[in-house]
Structure 1
Amino acid sequence: MNQLTFLGTGDAMGVPRVYCSCEICTEARRTGENRRKRSSVLIHGGGDFRDQHVDGMFMIDCGPDWRSQMEDQGMRMVHTLLITHAHFDHIGGLPEWADACRWLGVKGRLYAPREVIVTIQGQFPWLARHMDFLETDNGIELGGWKIRSWKVCHGHNGFSYAYRLEREEYAWAYCSDAIDLKEEEQELLHGLDLLVLGTSFVHELAEFSTRSVYDMQEAQELLRVLKPGHTYFTHMSHDVDVRQNYKLDEGITIARTGMTVALG
């Protein structure tokens, strides 16, 4: 059975934030229930996914916690990445991944929309020695999944991309960094069995023009329109306490690091 494992569920700064002594950051340091590395997921066929040669396995995003996320799972390599956008919390691990490719003598495969690839190559021009860059703009297939990408509003931070994956009449989507989606941006989020959606705060009070990701209240309003089978919230800041019951709508789960869910 195809499965998804959350390697990280944190926002751009992760939890705890190094400068912060709030209750949630303090708890994250003490017992770790709220400890969150930067958001990333692994798609695999179940079983022992620590085998680096498993066919069809890939990750979405490769942030600065990539190395420790791999160690957490007892993994030594993943050959294929799917990138949502070129912000540091989503690509900061690429130099370490490239180094792993170099030492293992393999050529990594990095999939992303063309404009994301251009930005990555501008930031890390030497990466092409260790990986192939492959565009998703016209649709791709990975591990038996038919995948479509489209640009979504990332608010004050510009844009990101979301992905819709379909296989054997099962459809799910990954949309970690978005806010204020217009109808055309929501189109591929309809008819989903599962949605992974970024929600940085329970209720964010900052001026809307300065914000970049849905909060949980806004996300629930969106979900009442989209009606996915189940939703997992990710990309959470130190505002979110996983020990609390926020009385979310039915069919919503706050994702935790290491959580594995079935895809189908």
Structure 2
Amino acid sequence: MRITFLGNGDSMGTPRVYCECAVCGEARISGGNIRLRSSILIEEEGQQPLLLDCGPDWRKQMENSGIREIGQALLTHAHFDHIGGLTEWADACRWTESVARVYAPDEVLNEVRLRFPWLEKQFKMSSNDKGLDYGDWRITPWKVNHGKNGYSYAYHFEHALRGVKWAYCSDAIQLTDRQKAPLSMLELLVLGTSFVEENFPMDTRSVYDMKEGLLLAEECLPAKVLFTHLSHDVDVREDYGLPAGIALAATGMRVDI
């Protein structure tokens, strides 16, 4: 299985239009810190590519990747930075006279329908509450705490024959022991960590910071961790002293599982 990071940014992306910080300034000049909203592309031999989340940067992400058509996607939750590209994708399907499949837990699909009730003209929306198969991989969503923003879903991938496991958890904080259980002993954990250290009251927060992400990694012991959903607080020019096996996700990064 190959994972390609189409975006690694938080809900605002980087640079932020209103911001004159050093990170946003660097992003405007050299582009090292440019971040589109978080999304990945999953590819498996013999299977159609699978998009995970479809934010408002969808069109640019498709153009950057040279992708002219996508047929299916998973959604983590119905916040705009994760579903804002659905309308453009649906319009592309209309022009190509195709119907794409969108998989998500029922409560996520119901929120999408409330926001964009016309999408089902071009999408077949299917519940994946009980999981789904993707080649030899079993994909299972589970609900996680998203702090002040309510809830999100993370996704667990397990190969039926080899037992290899990895997980994508972009929008979560203060996971309970039960919510942490699927993160145990993974080959790869993709974890959202918006700040290096977020010094705001916990009741105002919605995503782990990098220091908390490191503690979670120590607890769950994944072989490799990639931090995504990064805000303009994170500067790729800085050395954060991350331990071996832990790194920042980058646009265009490819990882084979």
Structure 1 SS opposite 2:240:
coil
Structure 1 residue aligned with 2:42? 43
Structure 1 residue aligned with 2:47? 55
TM-score normalised to structure 2 length: 0.97
Structure 1 residue aligned with 2:163? 169
Give 1:47-196 correspondences, 5 Å limit.
55-167=47-159, 168-196=162-190
Compute the displacement of 1:169 (Å): 1.9
Q: Is the 8 A contact 1:45 1:57 kept in 2?
A: yes
Aligned length: 255
Q: Distance in 2 between matches of 1:131 and 1:115?
A: 17
Q: Is the 8 A contact 2:132 2:140 kept in 1?
A: yes
The one-letter amino acid paired with 1:31 is S
Compute the displacement of 1:63 (Å): 0.1
**Percentage of matched positions with identical amino acids:** 53
**Residue ranges of structure 1 left out of the alignment (5+ in a row):** 47-53
Structure 1 SS opposite 2:118:
helix
Establish whether residue 236 from structure 1 lines up as the match of residue 230 from structure 2. yes
Q: Is the 8 A contact 2:139 2:155 kept in 1?
A: yes
Alignment deviations for residues 58-107 of structure 1 (CA, whole Å, 9 cap, x no partner): 01000000000000011111100000000000000000010111111111
Structure 1 residue aligned with 2:192? 198
- Structure 1 runs of 4+ off > 3 angstroms? none
TM-score normalised to structure 1 length: 0.95
Q: Distance in 2 between matches of 1:103 and 1:144?
A: 33
Q: Is the 8 A contact 2:24 2:232 kept in 1?
A: yes
The one-letter amino acid paired with 1:164 is H
Q: Distance in 2 between matches of 1:228 and 1:157?
A: 26
Q: Is the 8 A contact 1:56 1:144 kept in 2?
A: no
The one-letter amino acid paired with 1:33 is G
**Higher mean C-alpha deviation, range 137-146 or range 159-168:** 137-146
Q: Is the 8 A contact 2:141 2:153 kept in 1?
A: yes
Q: Distance in 2 between matches of 1:213 and 1:235?
A: 9
Q: Is the 8 A contact 1:40 1:59 kept in 2?
A: yes
